[in-house]
Amino acid sequence: MSTNGFFSKAEFLNHWQGHRNLTRNTIEKFPEKELFEFSIGGMRPFAELVKEILTVGLPGLEGMVNNTTEGFNHDVPFNTKEALLAEWDRQTPLITEYYNQIPEERFPEHFNLFGQFNAPIYENLLYFVDNEIHHRGQGYVYLRSLGIEPPMFWDR
Amino acid sequence: MSTNGFFSKAEFLNHWQGHRNLTRNTIEKFPEKELFEFSIGGMRPFAELVKEILTVGLPGLEGMVNNTTEGFNHDVPFNTKEALLAEWDRQTPLITEYYNQIPEERFPEHFNLFGQFNAPIYENLLYFVDNEIHHRGQGYVYLRSLGIEPPMFWDR
């Protein structure tokens, strides 16, 4: 009998990091000014969506590893494309490092993420990726609206 | 030791059907005309994105179950909101039925989806959900641009 369920712990990490790579490529497609200023329908500019992603995934993992349930803070001082990408790259190996510290046995356990999202750990981890795909898809519309071709969706 | 890897086969189905429920609610938010005609930046109207979702997930599962690798066809005659939603609802129990026919042991096996996407079955299944989240996120921008509040992202 398989011991991997739907897929393995390592395969999820690979899936997440692949999506992160695609999101990084999406950030790079934006001109500096439009990254921080362009929006549609009163929504947040793409830089704000990226800040949300940056302040949910790694801080969430840190909470799971250290069993802390402090709130999140999306108001972070990454005010240039270079600063956003530098933070993105800083987090890449740390996400792998923290993720690997969570024993697979904990994945079905409930954890009160940020003191407000009480769900099984695997659901919180899926949420990080789902939320990133959701907001990146919105970034694709911004890019198309600016006349810029987004990265290929399947190219991780 | 856990035998569920990242999460179980049943948990993935629940995750997928939860996302499908949210996408259904998103379709419902669109006025009939805008569902089929409104677009941004030369992209497809939301109805076309929904047709893509409808012609990838269930047909893909059927291919996996029957070991057939015919191509997909997104050009389907669902030309009203009612017809799109009726097809959506027709597929809901069929997705569960076909998914449950795929033994977990096959998930790591490569399958040449639609004769052109040769990847482990679990990756193809994840792609169905990722693609739906991606396009639904785009639908959210269309709705906001139309002055309509989308469903809450976390409400599955």
Task: Provide mean pLDDT across the span A82-96.
Answer: 98
| Joined tokens for residue A58 | 């790694």
pLDDT average, residue stretch B125-136: 98
Per CB-CB distance under 8 Å, the chain A contacts of B127 are: 154
Give the whole-angstrom CA distance, residue B11 versus residue B65: 19
Q: What does the pLDDT read at residue B13?
A: 98
Q: Which amino acid is at A35?
A: L
Predicted pLDDT of residue B111 = 96
Q: Do A104 and B5 touch (CB under 8 A)?
A: yes
Query: B6, A42: Cβ pair inside 8 Å?
Result: no
pLDDT over threshold 50, residue A108: yes
pLDDT(B104) > 50:
yes
Give one word for B37, left, alpha or beta, with left for phi > 0 and alpha for psi -120 to 50. Answer: alpha
The sign one gets for the Cα dihedral A155, B143, A38, A59 is: negative
Reduce the DSSP state of residue A3 to 3 states and report it: coil
Q: How far is A137 from chain B (nearest CA, A)?
A: 5
More confident residue, A2 or B73: B73
- Out of A1, A130, A145, closest to residue B133 by CB: A130
Q: What is the per-residue pLDDT across B41-54, written as a single tens digit (0 to 9) for each? A: 999 999 999 999 99
Q: Is the predicted pLDDT of residue B1 greater than 60, yes or no? A: no
% of chain A beyond a pLDDT of 70: 98
Question: Rounded to whole angstroms, how far apart are CA atoms B6 and A7?
Answer: 6
Taking an 8 Å Cβ-Cβ cutoff, which residues of chain B contact chain A?
1-9, 11-12, 15, 19, 40-43, 104-105, 107-108, 122-123, 125-127, 130-131, 133-138, 140-147, 153-154
Instruction: Verify whether the Cβ–Cβ distance A6 to B9 is below 8 Å.
Output: yes
C-alpha–C-alpha distance, residues A40 and A62, integer Å: 33
CB-nearest partner of A138 from B4, B140, B147: B140
What's the mean pLDDT when you consider all of chain A? 95
- pLDDT at res. B3: 63
User: From the CA of A89, how many Å to the nearest CA of chain B?
Assistant: 23
ipTM value? 0.96
Q: For a pLDDT cut of 90, what percent of chain A falls above it?
A: 90
Interface test with A, best of B4, B44, B121, B145 (most A CBs within 10 A): B4
pLDDT category, A129, cuts 50, 70, 90? very high
Residue B4 pairs in a beta bridge with: A4
Structure tokens at B123: 């990756």
Binding-site residues of A for a divalent metal cation sit at 135
Go through A87-116 and write b for each residue having 16 or more CB atoms within 10 A of its CB, e for each that does not: bbeebeeebeebbeebebeebeeebebbee
* Nearest C-alpha neighbor of A49 from the set A21, A80, A27: A27
Task: Report whether pLDDT(A1) > 80.
Answer: no
Q: Which two tokens stand for residue B95?
A: 């997705």
* pLDDT tens by residue, B16-69: 999 999 999 999 999 999 999 999 999 999 999 999 999 999 999 999 999 998
- How far apart CA A73 and CA A61 sit, in angstroms, is 15
Q: What is the CA angle B137-B42-B77, rounded to 5?
A: 75
pLDDT at site B155: 79
Cβ-proximal residues to B153 (8 Å cutoff; 6+ apart), any chain? A131, A134, B22
pLDDT recorded at residue A127 = 97
- Give me the mean pLDDT over the B63-78 stretch: 92
- The residue of chain A with its CA nearest to that of B153 is A131
The β-bridge relationship of strands A117-120 and A110-113 is antiparallel
pLDDT band with cut points at 50, 70 and 90 for residue A3: low
Query: Which chain B residues are closer than 8 Å to A105 by Cβ?
Result: 1-2
Rounded Cα distance between B135 and A136, Å, is: 10
3-class secondary-structure state, position B132: helix
Question: Tens digits of per-residue pLDDT, A28-79?
Answer: 999 999 999 999 999 999 999 999 999 999 999 999 999 998 888 888 999 9
pTM for this entry: 0.96
Q: Please check the confidence at residue A103 and state whether its pLDDT lies above 80.
A: yes
Residues whose CB falls within 8 Å of the CB of residue B50, separated by 6 or more in sequence, listed in order: B23, B27, B84, B88, B135
Per-residue pLDDT, A4: 80
For residue A61, report the phi and psi dihedrals to the nearest 5 degrees.
-60, -45
The tokens of A40 are what?
């549609």
**Interface of chain A toward chain B, CB-CB under 8 angstroms:** 1-9, 11-12, 15, 19, 40-43, 104-105, 107-108, 122, 125-127, 130-131, 133-138, 140-147, 153-154
